[in-house]
Amino acid sequence: MTRKDDILSNVLKHEMLKDKYHLSQKAMPKTIKEALSSSNPIIKSIALLIDNLENTTPTSDTVLRNIITQYLNESAL
């Protein structure tokens, strides 16, 4: 398991995802690759964040913001 997957699995254990977003642990992606393909905005946003920050050359704050905010704005429509 890579560090990205490890961080992801730790974060996806949070109760809020089950309580507020009704996501069961079974339905949770196991890897960052799976999470990046998720159709759930919060899962994908988390995955985008981890994927960017754990890269050897992380993107700048502005680029990161554009990626995530743009995705969320569009997915919320």
| Alpha helix (H) residue ranges in the chain | 3-11, 15-19, 32-36, 41-53, 61-76
- The two tokens of residue 23 are 């996501």
Q: How far is the CB of 25 from other proteins (least distance, A)?
A: 14
Give the orientation angle of helix 61-76 with respect to helix 41-53, to 10 degrees.
Answer: 170
Residues 20-49 close enough to bind other proteins by CB under 8 A: 20, 41-42, 45-46, 49
Q: Which residues make up the interface to other proteins (CB under 8 A)?
A: 3, 6-7, 10-11, 13-14, 16-17, 20, 41-42, 45-46, 49-50, 53, 61, 64-65, 68-69, 72-74, 76-77
